[in-house]
Amino acid sequence: MAKEMEEQMIEEELQSPSKTGKWLKIGVPVILVQIIAAYFLASYLIIPMFFDQANAGTKDKAGTEEQAGAADEEADQNEDKEFGYIFKVEDVIVNPAESRGSQFVLINIAFEVEEEDDIAELERREPQIRDILIRIISSKTIDQLDGPDDKELLREEIKGPVGALLKKGHLNNVYFVNYIIQ
């Protein structure tokens, strides 16, 4: 009799679905639907609300929406007028001071100049510019190259000798396009 009861219980367990199976069939789809709903709520409702508030704050500062749009257009026109021509010097690779060849700096630099003729002059003098860059960068240690303030100092240090190759005041700015220390 005990054996018959055991067999009957085993048969019932085999015939009835397990709780794990029920959870997989119902729980997983419910969780997926919730994740998808949360994504769409966040993407289309919550995040745009934050950006609209941020934009509203800038509009209030500028006055009305029309004034803000006019101010933006005017600023864009002024930037276009003031921005000069660009000359790029790419892939300047240098071993910094005290690195014993174990580290290197890879820099791509862009020079903003006043006139298109300045671009031709910089192209003609590119070997001199590369030499200036290599001398300046290789004289610096890694500690003198890795901070934000260090980059600004390096920018000013490069601007002087390269600017001397052009007519006075024609080198407007020096930009680091890539700046990698390895």
Tokens of 176: 């680091």
Mean pLDDT to the nearest integer, 103-112: 90
- Domain 84-181 CATH assignment equals 3.10.20.30: no
Q: What does the pLDDT read at residue 58?
A: 47
Mean pLDDT to the nearest integer, 150-174: 88
114-120 long-range contacts (CB < 8 A, ≥24 apart) are 114/84, 114/85, 114/167, 114/169, 114/170, 114/172, 115/84, 115/85, 115/170, 116/85, 118/84, 118/85, 118/87, 118/166, 118/167, 118/170, 118/171, 119/85, 119/87
Mean pLDDT to the nearest integer, 46-72: 54
Domain positions in the chain are 2-61+68-76, 84-181
Task: State yes or no: pLDDT of 67 exceeds 60.
Answer: no
Q: Is the pTM of this model over 0.85?
A: no
171: number of Cβ within 10 Å: 23
Mean pLDDT to the nearest integer, 68-81: 51
3-state secondary structure (DSSP) of residue 88? strand
Higher pLDDT, 83 or 178: 178
Higher pLDDT, 147 or 10: 147
Task: State yes or no: pLDDT of 126 exceeds 80.
Answer: yes
Task: State yes or no: pLDDT of 41 exceeds 70.
Answer: yes
Q: Mind listing the pLDDT tens digit for each residue in 92-103?
A: 888 888 888 788
Is beta strand 171-181 parallel, antiparallel or unpaired with respect to 85-94? unpaired
Q: What does the pLDDT read at residue 60?
A: 47
